[in-house]
Amino acid sequence: MNNPLVSVVIPSYNHDKYIEETIESILNQSFQDFEIIITDDGSSDNSVEIIKNISDPKVKLFVFEENKGACTAVNNCIINSKGKFIAVISSDDVWEPYKLEKQVKFLDENPQISVVFTKAKIIDENSNPFINKNHFYYAVFDQKNRSNAEWLRYFFLNGNCLCHPSVLLRRNVYDDVGLYNENMANIPDFEMWIRICLKQNIHILDEKLIKFRVRDKEANASGGRPKNRIRARFEYKMLMDHYLKIDDIKFFLKIFPDAQKYGVPKNEMIPYFLGRIAYDTNVDFKQLWGLEIIYNVMQSNKIVDKLKKDYNFKYSDFLIMSSKADVFKMHKHPQKDSIIKQKTSIINNLEFNIQKMKYEIEYLNNKDRSITQRLISKFPSFYIILNRNNNSIKNILINIKGYKTIKKNGLIDIGYYLKNYRDVRLSGMDPLLHYLYHGFKEGKKPNPTFDGNYYLQRYNDVRHSNINPLVHYSLYGKNEQRKTEKN
Q: What is the CA radius of gyration of the chain?
A: 37
Q: In this predicted structure, what is the pLDDT of residue 465?
A: 82
Q: In this predicted structure, what is the pLDDT of residue 373?
A: 79
- C-alpha of 341 from chain center: 19
For 430, list phi and psi in degrees, rounded to 5: -55, 120
Taking the domain 6-221, which CATH number applies? 3.90.550.10
Single-letter code of the amino acid located at 486: K
C-alpha distances (whole Å) from 89 to each of 106, 211, 212 are 19, 11, 10
In angstroms, the CA 11 to CA 222 distance is 14
Burial class (CB in 10 A: 0-12, 13-18, 19+), 248: exposed
In angstroms, the CA 35 to CA 83 distance is 8
Q: Do residues 221 and 231 touch, judged by C-beta distance below 8 A?
A: no
Q: With H, G, I as helix, E, B as strand and everything else as coil, classify residue 87.
A: strand
- In DSSP terms, 38 is beta-bridged to 10, 61
Q: Report how far apart the first and last C-alpha atoms of the chain are (Å, whole number).
A: 92
In angstroms, the CA 328 to CA 321 distance is 14
Q: In this predicted structure, what is the pLDDT of residue 332?
A: 60
Backbone dihedral region for residue 127 (phi beyond 0: left; psi -120 to 50: alpha; all else: beta): left
Contacts of 368 (CB under 8 A, 6+ apart): 362, 428
Q: In this predicted structure, what is the pLDDT of residue 433?
A: 87
Q: In this predicted structure, what is the pLDDT of residue 227?
A: 84
Q: pLDDT of the chain along its 487 residues, tens only?
A: 489 999 999 999 999 999 999 999 999 999 999 999 999 999 999 999 999 999 999 999 999 999 999 999 999 999 999 999 999 999 999 999 999 999 999 999 999 999 999 999 999 999 999 999 888 888 999 999 999 999 999 999 999 999 999 999 999 999 999 999 999 999 999 999 999 999 999 999 999 999 999 987 665 555 446 888 899 999 999 999 999 999 999 999 999 999 999 999 999 999 999 999 999 999 999 999 999 999 999 999 999 999 999 999 999 999 999 999 888 887 765 566 666 667 777 777 777 777 777 777 777 777 667 778 778 778 888 788 887 676 778 878 888 888 888 888 888 888 888 888 888 888 888 888 888 888 888 888 988 888 888 888 888 888 888 888 898 998 898 888 888 887 6
Alpha helices in 328-475 (DSSP H): 334-364, 371-378, 380-386, 393-409, 414-420, 422-427, 431-434, 452-458, 460-465, 469-472
In angstroms, the CA 487 to CA 485 distance is 6
Q: In this predicted structure, what is the pLDDT of residue 172?
A: 96
Q: In this predicted structure, what is the pLDDT of residue 206?
A: 97
Go through 55-75 and write b for each residue having 16 or more CB atoms within 10 A of its CB, e for each that does not: eeebbeeeebeeebbbbbbbb
Q: What is the DSSP letter of 61?
A: E
Name the residue ranges covered by the structural domains of the chain: 6-221, 246-324, 334-477
Q: In this predicted structure, what is the pLDDT of residue 225?
A: 66
Contacts of 325 (CB under 8 A, 6+ apart): 279, 284, 287, 288, 291
